[in-house]
Amino acid sequence: MIPVCEPLLDGNEQKYINDCLATNWISSEGTYLKEFERKFSAYCGCKYGVATTNGTTALHLAMAVLRVPKSREVIIPTFTIASCAFAVRYVNAHPVFADCDPVTFNIIPEAIEKLITPKTVAIMAVHLYGHPCDMEAINAIAKAHNLPVIEDAAEAIGSEINGTVVGGFGTVGCFSFYSNKIITTGEGGMLVTNDLELATRARVLRNLAHSKVRFQHEEIGYNFRMTNIQAAMGLAQLENVQRHIDMRRHNAALYTERLRNVQGLTLPPELPGYKNTYWMYSLLAETPEMRDGLTAFLADHDIGTRTFFIPMHRQVMMYDTPGRYPIAESIYKRGFYLPSGTGLTEAEIDTVCNTIKEFMGCV
């Protein structure tokens, strides 16, 4: 079986985790946690990092630190993972959906602008599959309307816009370190920011919102604490982040070389000025039938794939008219991604590409 993604744990992971066990620093205090927060946030060009239990809680925490009020609106892409929409709903606000770009699949800045109303309180940009959003345009809109930006960079660790790593373009950046991410802590996440007040508030809310007096709480908090053991793994992974990115980019280049002439497939982009880390090598088939036939054929040959997100406007608890989102509608039924783990070998890529060509009638 060639899985869609496997983590690569070939650095100091075991050594650092054993150190936690040997020293009894196994819960949410400890030097690895502080180091991981410090080094990862610095990697993203941010002053502060607040580690969380996962990427979904990082987004939830972002809503809470930004004090998104009940019944107000947050503009998010419809084409994204449910975590983004759920985070808005967790604070009893409404996600308002914007359609996506047909090439990068990311939120369209002009669509955001059209959705702004007096009820809008924030904008969420999500860098999908490793390709950054147009943060310059999004930030310009946010600035014009005095709105904070939540940058969900879970799928884009190390991706760049004009040489700057993503995560620090928004008011807050959110990350996931789930096992398929560019670096992993098993489960885990982080909120990064350059705003000391927001970071301080995030730390308080993450830990049950104790006030200055311990066990005295002035608002409702959460237990979103990452453990020192997870952070130990994260720190070891971070030591190798550049190598992981180089390997993913190398694998993407191998895929592109082999698939570029296959009729009926659109390969993932890298627009000028952007660095795609190819978190997942994502493609579009010409038709939904072709996508479904191809992914089934690959599964029969022990090759894992995943189909694209079903857009948020199609979820039962947030349903909105599909006709309002023509691009998301057109891509979600045709999109899928290929095995993309950091440690994927060239021989595995050959197998995947030859199997695709067999299905597509190229060989």
Q: Which of 11, 55, 167, 339 binds ligand PLP (CB under 6 A)?
A: 55
Tell me the closest approach of the beta carbon of residue 87 to ligand PLP, in angstroms: 8
Choice between 227 and 355, CB closer to ligand PLP: 227
Residues 298-337 that bind ligand PLP (CB under 6 A): none
**Interface with ligand PLP includes 152 (CB under 6 A)?**
yes
Q: Is 80 left (phi over 0), alpha (psi -120 to 50) or beta?
A: beta
Contact pick of 28, 56, 106, 342 for ligand PLP (by CB under 6 A): 56
- For residue 320, give the nearest of 331, 328, 312, 330 by alpha carbon: 312
In whole angstroms, how close is the CB of 98 to ligand PLP at the nearest point?
A: 15
Examine residue 276 and tell whether it contacts ligand PLP (CB under 6 A).
no
| Contacts with ligand PLP, 194-233, as mask; x by CB under 6 A | ----------------------------------------
Q: Which residues contact 233 (CB under 8 A, 6 or more apart)?
A: 9, 13, 16, 17, 184, 185, 186
Taking CB under 6 A as the rule, does residue 360 contact ligand PLP? no
Point out the residue whose Cβ comes nearest to ligand PLP: 55
Closest contact distance (angstroms) between CB of 178 and ligand PLP is 4
Residue 82 CA: distances (Å) to CA of 77, 119, 317, 319:
10, 22, 11, 13
- Does position 277 interact with ligand PLP (CB under 6 A)? The reply is no
Amino acid at 315: Q
Which of 163, 101, 110, 97 lies closest to 140, judged by CA? 110
The residue among 184 and 295 lying less far from ligand PLP, judged by its C-beta, is: 184
Interface residues for ligand PLP in 159-178 (CB under 6 A)?
Answer: 176, 178
Handedness of CA 305, 311, 312, 314 (dihedral sign): negative
Task: Please report where in the chains the tokens 């660095």 appear, as a residue.
Answer: 275
Of the pair 60, 334, the CB lying nearest ligand PLP is at 60
State the amino acid at position 45 in one-letter form.
Answer: G
Nearer to ligand PLP, 281 or 359 (CB): 281
Per rule CB under 6 A, is residue 237 in the interface with ligand PLP? no
Q: Which residue among 83, 251, 277, 355 contacts ligand PLP (CB under 6 A)?
A: 83
Residue 347 CB-half CA count within 13 A: 1
Q: DSSP readout, 291-322?
A: HHHHHHHHHHTTB--EEPPPPGGGSGGG---G
Should residue 147 be labelled a site residue for ligand PLP when binding is judged by CB under 6 A? no
Nearer to ligand PLP, 74 or 259 (CB): 74
Residue 264 DSSP symbol: T
Q: Which is nearer to ligand PLP, 308 or 359 (CB)?
A: 308
* Residue 30 Cα distances to 14, 232, 344, 349, angstroms: 17, 9, 34, 41
Applying CB under 6 A, the residues found at the interface with ligand PLP are: 54-56, 81, 83, 126, 152, 154-155, 176, 178, 189
